[in-house]
Amino acid sequence: MGWRLIRIYTILVYLFMFLPIAVVVLLSFNANQFGSFPMTGLSTRWFEALWNNDAIMRAFRTSIVLGLMTAVISTVLGVLASLALVRYKIPGRNLITTLLIAPILVPEVVLAVALLLFLNFLNFGKSFTLLLAGHVIFTLPFVILVVQARLVSIKRDVEEAAMSLGASPMQTFFAITLPLLMPAVAAGGLFAFTISFDDITGTLFWKPGGIETVPTQIFSMLRNSISPEINALGTVMIVLTVGLPLIGAAIARTLATRSGQ
């Protein structure tokens, strides 16, 4: 009896969480202009409309470029920072770690306003570079957390063995450390991309006029009217932000099994 209640309760919680998403996905295939049930027919017209909407496609391209650049910069910086923090005895190591992780702990609005005011103070205006910098600051902690955890588990002995066999520190990094670090690097990069891709708070503060990312585009579209195109856009966003990490995890797992780790 008790178990039955728990089961029903669990199902209700899941419905509460996922039903709105399911509705969005479902309605994106609705043939009718007005979203209501029962649906009158299936169609991909809203996806086509999306494809033909220049503003949305521009926003989409911006988001992809921004996400990729954020991922690459964050991953490179994150790996370098992790190496320094884990492999070398640098003074103030704990303080630096805390500072690097801090952006997760500070409310995003505060971070967004702070960065904006700081750059205003330095007489820099809003620009794509500022937007990129903001996203890097915001995604770097995730990369560092993931990469550091992995780096700690890679024994120093393995690197020392490689060096004793004639590999320079640089060659050792590329032949041994980086391949062993790869699952974490890939995971960190994916994190950075997806976080950047659906960030809105910081982006609203940082983006210069005329540049829209997908979330800010949706946001401004919602202010005017609720177009079914938004449902289609939402579906695309869901597929990207849920699908990418899943694919990443699957790739990481296959790589790991193949190398027998």
Q: Which residues bind other proteins (CB under 8 A)?
A: 155, 157-158, 160-169, 171-172, 175-176, 179-180, 259-261
Please, which residue, 58 or 87, has the CB nearer to other proteins? Answer: 87
CA 119 – CA 113 distance, rounded (Å): 10
Cβ pair 30, 40 in contact under 8 A: yes
Nearer to other proteins, 26 or 255 (CB): 255
For other proteins, the closer CB: 153 or 220: 153
| Closest to other proteins by CB, 183 or 234 | 183
Distance in Å, CB of 149 to other proteins, minimum = 17
Count, residues in the chain? 261
To other proteins, the closest distance from the beta carbon of 81 in angstroms equals 23
CB of 253 to other proteins, least distance (A): 14
Q: Minimum distance between the CB of residue 147 and other proteins, rounded to whole angstroms?
A: 17
Q: How far is the CB of 256 from other proteins (least distance, A)?
A: 9
Q: Rounded to the nearest whole angstrom, what is the least distance from the CB of residue 258 to other proteins in the complex? A: 9
Q: Which residue has the tokens 């960190």?
A: 188
Q: Which is nearer to other proteins, 48 or 160 (CB)?
A: 160
Tokens found for residue 83:
């190496």
**Closer by beta carbon to other proteins, 68 or else 182:** 182
Give the separation between CA 136 and CA 148, rounded to whole angstroms.
17
